[in-house]
Amino acid sequence: MIASQKGTRDLLPPETRVWNGVERTARGVFALYGYDEIRTPAFEATELFVRSVGESTDIVHKEMYTFTDRGGRSVTLRPENTAGVARAFVEHRLAQAGGVHRLYYVGPQYRYERPQKGRYREFRQIGAEVLGAADAATDAEVLVMLFDFLGRLGFTGLSVALNSVGTEEERPGFVEALRAWFSSKEGLLDADDARRLEQNPLRILDSKNPKLAEWLADPSLPAMIDFLSADSRRHHEELLALLTSFRIPYRIEPRLVRGLDYYTRTVFEVTAQGLGAQDALLGGGRYDRLISDLGGPKTPGIGFAIGEDRLLDVLPADTRETFLGEGSPQVAVVPLGPEDVAEALALAAELRRGGIRTDLDTSAKGPGRGIKGALKKEIPLVVLLGEEERRTGTFVVKDLATQKQDECPRERLLDEIGARLRPSQAT
């Protein structure tokens, strides 16, 4: 037997119904906010991620699936989708059309991480990006949409952790203060962290080194928020005021920097109970330089990505049940003998035309087997059809919950079945 690769998963039915329900909800909500779908390739030039996500990030440094293709090019399976969206935006000159571009995506991403619960090598993200709007109202609207989506899935009690990482111009003062602070704590940094402090000091704030954890909580550690320019501070405060007025629960986390280099100003994360301490349900932020860094016109951007695998892990039970139910067959049509199969096919076709999800048992091995099969699939109603029914132009319907059985005229098929389906199952 050839098994699936470490860190990858097969998503099997009926669980795939839950995935579809979540994705349907996302598409529906995002459309309400004016977003359109974008689909970018699963692999890109390696250089794209090096230049956008950043050379010294964990993702680029040690988590990428990079290989040389048969043509000698270095390509990488996308570890995230913002870079691909930005690349497509530049390549197709979308900025030329002017205005604000609202895009969303749903799809697999790849990171060579140590697999564990909620952490996979192939995982799926639902993400959204807004390109061409720099104002704090856009940041607020992105978060409002996100909470609208999470709310419709039945999540309550979530809050967003927020910070501002400022702009490139604002960082030198902070970096200097950070370096000074760490240089007074000799021996604290391991080789990885020492390299980070040298190359990209912000990265030290999301170091996974347990020894550092306690120090990162030290109130004397410099916070980026204290080094913001007046403009960035205004942006941040405007956002907070808007979130308050929209009743989006937030908390400021001065150490939040996120593990990708392209962020400017607003960064945010939502964590959920049950995912483990470090594991965020979603993350995002503003990236006002990414498009121009990739050779496009100066275009601000902001977005987020939700880890769909994690979202499903903590999805409220009611929502899960609803999505499972929405996909399941409502009726099983059971021909009693082989000579009844053709008529059973016609019955099933009529039910399906009427919008009723119908399972057809073509094995025609008698009522006992047919009913057993329906019970196993949790189908509530069975339509039985034998020689007698064909002769009299009738069918027998059996409700498996009540065991009640009725004979009905063939021409009343849709009405009779429709009336028997419980309201939640009627389409």
| Site residues, ligand HAM (CB under 6 A) | 80-82, 111, 113, 118-120, 123, 125, 127, 129, 259-260, 280-285, 303-305, 307, 309-310
Q: How far is the CB of 346 from ligand HAM (least distance, A)?
A: 47
DSSP string, 190-201: -HHHHHHHHH-G
Q: How far is the CB of 191 from ligand HAM (least distance, A)?
A: 24
DSSP string, 161-180: EEEE---GGGHHHHHHHHHH
- Check if the beta carbon of residue 130 is closer than 8 Å to that of residue 142: yes
Question: Residue with CB nearest ligand HAM?
Answer: 307
Q: Which is nearer to ligand HAM, 149 or 395 (CB)?
A: 149
Tokens of 197: 């402090």
**Per-residue b/e over 205-224, b at no fewer than 16 CB within 10 Å?**
bbbeeeebeebeeeeebbbb
Q: Which is nearer to ligand HAM, 59 or 333 (CB)?
A: 59
Q: How far is the CB of 359 from ligand HAM (least distance, A)?
A: 34
Q: How far is the CB of 259 from ligand HAM (least distance, A)?
A: 6
Q: How far is the CB of 372 from ligand HAM (least distance, A)?
A: 39
* CA–CA separation, 145 and 134 (whole Å): 17
* CA–CA separation, 169 and 166 (whole Å): 8
Q: Which is nearer to ligand HAM, 45 or 375 (CB)?
A: 45
Name the nearest CA neighbour of 163 among 266, 28, 78: 266
Q: How far is the CB of 163 from ligand HAM (least distance, A)?
A: 14
Name the nearest CA neighbour of 390 among 354, 422, 325, 346: 346
| Residue indicated by tokens 């989708």 | 81
Q: Which is nearer to ligand HAM, 161 or 188 (CB)?
A: 161
Q: How far is the CB of 43 from ligand HAM (least distance, A)?
A: 16
Q: Which is nearer to ligand HAM, 197 or 275 (CB)?
A: 275
* CA–CA separation, 415 and 408 (whole Å): 10
Q: Which is nearer to ligand HAM, 222 or 284 (CB)?
A: 284
Q: How far is the CB of 284 from ligand HAM (least distance, A)?
A: 4
* CA–CA separation, 370 and 397 (whole Å): 13
- What are 45's strand-pairing partners? 75
- Cis peptide, bond prior to residue 380, ω within 30 of zero: no
Q: Which is nearer to ligand HAM, 123 or 174 (CB)?
A: 123
Q: Which is nearer to ligand HAM, 80 or 389 (CB)?
A: 80
Name the nearest CA neighbour of 202 among 185, 227, 236, 219: 227
CA 88, 89, 95: angle at the middle one, nearest 5?
Answer: 155
Q: How far is the CB of 209 from ligand HAM (least distance, A)?
A: 19
Tokens of 339: 């000579």
* CA–CA separation, 418 and 289 (whole Å): 57
Q: Which is nearer to ligand HAM, 81 or 207 (CB)?
A: 81
